[in-house]
Structure 1
Amino acid sequence: MTTPQAAWPNINTLWAHALVDELARCGLKHVCISPGSRSTPLVVAFANHPDIHDISIIDERQAAFVALGLSLASGQPVALVCTSGTAAAHYYPAICEASSSGVPLLVLTADRPPNLHDTGAPQAIDQTRIFGQHVRWFHQVAEPEPTAEKMRYLRALACRACQRAAGPDAGPVHLNLPFRKPLEPTPLPEGHRDAVPPELLESDPLAMMGRSDDAPYLHTPPTRAILDEATLDTIAGLLASAERPLILAGADHRGNAYASTLIELARRIGAPLIAEPTSGVTRNAELQDAPLHFGDAIFGSSLLTILGAPDLVLRTGKAPLGWAAARAVRSWSHATTILLSPDADPADPDHLSSWHLRAEPATTLRALSRRLSASMRPAIPTNAAWLGAFQQAETLASQSLVAMLQNFRSERPDAPLTTPEIWHALGERLPDGCALMISNSMPIRDVDAFMAQRRAPLQIFFNRGVNGIDGIVATGLGIALARKATGLHAPTVIALGDVALRHDLSALALARELDLPILVLVLDNEGGAIFDELPIANFPDVHTRHFLTSARADITRSAPSAARISEATSPSELHDTLSVFFENPQLQVVVARSERQLDRDLRAALRAGTRTLIDHRSQGDLP
């Protein structure tokens, strides 16, 4: 038998080994490590574990967003490891996003032992609850100690951390781990306070080695919130009695898990199902009935003025993103609004909801459909005219978008490339099974408006927790890493604005190091386009100086030389650059140039044209 001195030359080595061993037993597959001395025991343990993929990322901020993307794409907790001092502070933006989006992360920060705090020791700051309320659980880990009692504590702690991160209220968990020197696997003489006693392995092999069947030390089966029978009966009754039901699927990275059950419920009650591209409900090849996509165009028209407002609204995911949709929701104060989400906080910034069903969506939707099928609603709904009007408006919106884009290019063949054309082309060219990471601000809204006619399967990712534009490239890298680990070969496209890229330029160098099939599509509209849509645009001096960020040369000059950059200023150039990438996917940056004012005018024209077409048909003015 291997002696403790040979396997674990000191308590730090044993301590880190036991922690990592339990994390692996609980299913951990990926860890993002940023270099630093104090975290050496953890780094050595992760590097030596055969079942965990350790990824070295120098910059902690990048590492945290890469871990976020890995977790988003895999659906599993991902670990982060950093040294003491300000290193953990660089995790903060990604931790906030993970907390708000319910993405599981295990944040392992190394620390100086207590006797080095408040003494002027280097790299020693108070890391206790450094992330505040943005983690599901914080635990100040005990100092390593070579006793069976402490080893059992550590193994159980690792299992608890994994369970808390994974859910049901998923999110980041923070363990702060103090280590005293020696940090490396340096042998210590018997009797040293940090040496592992020879008798420890024999006295309590379970504490030292874990369970013999490779199971976690503490079994923590996943739990799912399920509604009681009385509540399910009540909600089913509300759905069955609604004359004008409507279902809105907002942004939700978990949406694919309940997409088919949501569509089935919509079919059963005759409800229009309007799904945002980020809902997880829209791009699934297995779905038989396609949801509606042009929600903002429909809500911007007079359709509901003519038909009447919905009397019941069932919502999943985040609050509606589109401006017209958000305005419409605020006006439905007399409707019964039901939120279905396992999250603790209701996605209801307008405080109009009647119900927050804090339960697992797929199970709840199936239970409701069974009740409606059994006794409360015929298979063919009686409110077919209500549903038909929405379906007709959807068809008109799709046809209008294509026709108006074609007319624009026909009438102005020499006009610069426009953002609506970029998204329309991307929707046509993305291969099936491709991953698309979309930045916030205008891109997340433009994909909803101008790529909605795509029906082929597509994985769409986003950071809609706190809606930031930082870390977009790094998050996309994590998504690509997770897809590669599961054998998915379709490329990953990261679409972001020029301002968002400036927040994450250094991630391009990391992208080259990781050697992944990634296209970074930069929508360069001279920066700050979303502020043209806001009231600040009426104050031109301040608007121009502080809200518009026109500095086009910065992107190409500041990008790392390792990145291959091409530009597209016309539809034909965009077509060619996309073709080059999809024929041979490897890291490429495509800067798609457009003019902000032309984009703004075309967006307005497309919205107005679609709205007019729907209005005329709704009023019976068109054949």
Structure 2
Amino acid sequence: MVYPKIPLAQTVIQLCKAKGIKHIVISPGSRNAPLTIGFSHDNFFKSYSIVDERCAAFFALGIAQQLQEPTALVCTSGSALLNYYPAVAEAYYSDIPLVIISADRPKHLIGVGDGQTINQPNVFENHILYSANLKLDLKEAETEAHEALPIFKSLENKVETLLGLKQSIQEFNESEINKAINIALQKSGPVHLNVPFDEPLYERVEALSVQPEIVPAKEKPLEIEASVLSKCIDDWNTSKRKMILIGVKHPNTIEQQWLDILAKDDSVLVFTETTSNINHEAFFPSIDKIIAPLDNEGFKNLQPDILLTFGGLIVSKKIKAFLRTYQPKQHWHIDTQKANDTFFCLNRFIETTPNYFLSKLLPQTQPFSSNYRLYWEAIKQVRLQKHTVYIDQIEFTDLKAFNSILKAIPNHSILQLSNSSTVRYAQLFNINNTLEVYCNRGTSGIDGSTSTAIGCAVATDKQTTLISGDLSFLYDSNALWNNNIPNDFRIIVINNQGGGIFRILPGHKNTENFNTYFETNHHLTAEHLCKMFGFEYATASNEIELESKLETFYSESNQPKLLEVFTPKNINDEVLLNYFKFIK
């Protein structure tokens, strides 16, 4: 077995192994060589080499998203670490566990003009659960030099002091590493280990010199205070309008029996976002189809007495605007981590899982006689019929393309969506309920969607499809510089020659200023990127071509595939805005 000689590197690697961190995403460098040597020579770990640190971090995020367990990132010192920041922020707001391990220069080389140095300790302090700033190992040469001298009492004391200091540093580092990784496990978010190394960096040994103490992570209890649960039961049983809104969630986190009970209660409306991964024929997906056409009377009829929310951030701007204006009497949020007061009326945060909460609430409640759900069910059916009529009659645009694309995705596969128009278009459709759907909605950035999707594809046996806008895809094109991409990975790029989402927003369209600084007009394609990175490339510019290409797009291949769909940018916004008028 090969190990790095530096004890601190051994300590980091052993504690990662003890806590089950198997996937290690390494960006090449010199200062992180002791860590790279240790991780890459141990068969327990699956190590990946990704040159671009920003892509590496989102790739790791995609792995952690799927496995729901920490993935480690390892980089050299200096600006390399800063490139992790977008993914760190996404992990922070999306509750995804990442362990960032940055190599650093010794403290005496910081701030003196030495190469590749920045102030690394606490660099993520506003978007991190914990920062462990580890201490440099005391050099063996410093103690060995004293031990070789004639033994005098004063020197003996000095040697004892040095040995004690060495042990104290080791204990400090072990404690900090244990604490950081345990927080990532317990709170499901990013933590940072800043690890200083002095040269020489590449020395190897065949036996470990340290055996760090392993402090296990403690599981967080799910219990709900009896008085809180009792009040929830009373309020639930006496409310004729209850709305449940579910944001980003992993699949299969709520048992079907509780969903079935909610579906039978006529006083309950369950709104599900595409990223909620919650499906039931009695629930209300495609929220904006319901919300967008409403007038003041409609909003008052929809206004709930109790709003119960689960999951992560909400995509729909329309339901956020509605609930902020027509606030419920009570808003409860159920989560093990945090509660966002998204609608400015949060008055109850219960720290447990949604499944546990429903298992305690629903057996002690009774359906309330109400026409709340049935009234909105009738509207849902009308909206669905008009949706179908409108899609059939429009010309080929983004909206029409999404209709074909979403129908073609294979059952029981994974769909990754980029920000920002892509996920919003997807929200307008009733997506195949066998799919698992993901999107980086923590910060809603376009910067790492492709890298995240590739990380997801690597971590799962299920086929993964990414649907991306052109700007998001081009922005993250280095994501394709990755030797681990599975052959069954698929990318569909909607190329409308710019940031089409801005045409839907208020502004002066079709001016030079708008086209340059808002929409970002371009004439780029993915063709040459596909040739460079080994993707099979195809295009479609109308409905017939698209349907034809999709017929074989998911067939087996010896390389991943990308389908670029070109849509007319000048009418996409008009078609979408008219959609909401038509379904009213």
Same fold (TM over 0.5): yes
8 Å Cα contact 2:98/2:190 also seen in 1:
yes
* Deviation at residue 99 of structure 1 after TM alignment: 0.8
Q: Which residue number corresponds to residue 192 of structure 1?
A: none
The answer as to 2:372 corresponding to 1:386 is yes
Q: Which moved more, 1:577-586 or 1:118-127?
A: 577-586
* Deviation at residue 280 of structure 1 after TM alignment: 2.3
The aligned runs of 1:32-43 (5 Å cut-off) are: 32-43=25-36
The aligned runs of 1:439-478 (5 Å cut-off) are: 439-449=418-428, 451-452=429-430, 454-478=431-455
Q: Which residue number corresponds to residue 517 of structure 1?
A: 488
Q: Which residue number corresponds to residue 552 of structure 1?
A: 523
Identity fraction in percent: 24
2:239 counterpart letter in structure 1 = A
Q: Distance in 2 between matches of 1:513 and 1:339?
A: 39
Q: Distance in 2 between matches of 1:307 and 1:392?
A: 13
Q: Distance in 2 between matches of 1:474 and 1:324?
A: 29
* Deviation at residue 437 of structure 1 after TM alignment: 0.9
Task: Say which SS state the counterpart of residue 122 (structure 1) adopts.
Answer: coil
Q: Distance in 2 between matches of 1:387 and 1:130?
A: 49
Task: Say which SS state the counterpart of residue 548 (structure 1) adopts.
Answer: coil
Task: Say which SS state the counterpart of residue 563 (structure 2) adopts.
Answer: strand
Inter-CA distance 401–33: structure 2 relative to 1 (3 Å threshold): same
* Deviation at residue 356 of structure 1 after TM alignment: 2.5
Task: Say which SS state the counterpart of residue 520 (structure 2) adopts.
Answer: coil
Task: Say which SS state the counterpart of residue 427 (structure 2) adopts.
Answer: helix
* Deviation at residue 333 of structure 1 after TM alignment: 2.5
The answer as to 2:410 corresponding to 1:431 is yes
Q: Which moved more, 1:530-539 or 1:135-144?
A: 530-539
Task: Say which SS state the counterpart of residue 143 (structure 1) adopts.
Answer: coil
The aligned runs of 1:346-357 (5 Å cut-off) are: 346-357=339-350
1:454-496 alpha-carbon deviations (Å, 9 max, x no partner): 343111111101110001111111100111xxxx2x3211111
The answer as to 2:375 corresponding to 1:395 is no
Q: Which residue number corresponds to residue 498 of structure 1?
A: 470
Task: Say which SS state the counterpart of residue 192 (structure 2) adopts.
Answer: strand
The answer as to 2:567 corresponding to 1:594 is yes
Q: Distance in 2 between matches of 1:187 and 1:210?
A: 17
The aligned runs of 1:78-89 (5 Å cut-off) are: 78-89=71-82
1:235 counterpart letter in structure 2 = C
8 Å Cα contact 2:320/2:342 also seen in 1:
no
Q: Distance in 2 between matches of 1:99 and 1:516?
A: 31
The answer as to 2:111 corresponding to 1:139 is no
Extract unaligned runs of 5+ from structure 1: 1-5, 189-195, 202-207, 212-216, 283-287, 409-414, 612-623
Inter-CA distance 117–243: structure 2 relative to 1 (3 Å threshold): same
2:583 to 572, 589, 610: 610
Inter-CA distance 455–393: structure 2 relative to 1 (3 Å threshold): farther
CA-based RMSD: 2.6
The answer as to 2:290 corresponding to 1:311 is no
1:316 counterpart letter in structure 2 = F
Inter-CA distance 334–115: structure 2 relative to 1 (3 Å threshold): closer
Inter-CA distance 569–259: structure 2 relative to 1 (3 Å threshold): farther
1:95-154 alpha-carbon deviations (Å, 9 max, x no partner): 111111111100000001112112221112110111122110001111124755554544
Q: Distance in 2 between matches of 1:596 and 1:391?
A: 35
Q: Distance in 1 between matches of 2:576 and 2:116?
A: 51
The aligned runs of 1:158-557 (5 Å cut-off) are: 158-167=177-186, 169-186=187-204, 208-209=210-211, 217-250=214-247, 252-254=248-250, 256-258=252-254, 260=256, 263-264=259-260, 266-267=262-263, 269-270=265-266, 271-282=268-279, 291-302=283-294, 304-305=298-299, 307=301, 309-318=303-312, 320-344=314-338, 346-372=339-365, 377-378=366-367, 381-383=368-370, 385-408=371-394, 415=395, 417-449=396-428, 451-452=429-430, 454-483=431-460, 488=461, 490-510=462-482, 514-537=485-508, 540-557=511-528
1:605 counterpart letter in structure 2 = N
Q: Which residue number corresponds to residue 155 of structure 2?
A: none
Q: Distance in 2 between matches of 1:179 and 1:588?
A: 42
Please give the TM-score of this superposition, normalised by the length of structure 1.
Answer: 0.83
* Deviation at residue 530 of structure 1 after TM alignment: 1.2
Q: Distance in 1 between matches of 2:198 and 2:178?
A: 24
1:526 counterpart letter in structure 2 = Q
The aligned runs of 1:52-201 (5 Å cut-off) are: 52-145=45-138, 150-167=169-186, 169-186=187-204
* Deviation at residue 80 of structure 1 after TM alignment: 0.2
8 Å Cα contact 1:99/1:465 also seen in 2:
yes
Q: Which residue number corresponds to residue 193 of structure 1?
A: none
Q: Distance in 2 between matches of 1:553 and 1:220?
A: 49
Inter-CA distance 135–361: structure 2 relative to 1 (3 Å threshold): same
Inter-CA distance 542–273: structure 2 relative to 1 (3 Å threshold): same
The aligned runs of 1:20-39 (5 Å cut-off) are: 20-39=13-32
* Deviation at residue 382 of structure 1 after TM alignment: 1.3
1:445 counterpart letter in structure 2 = R
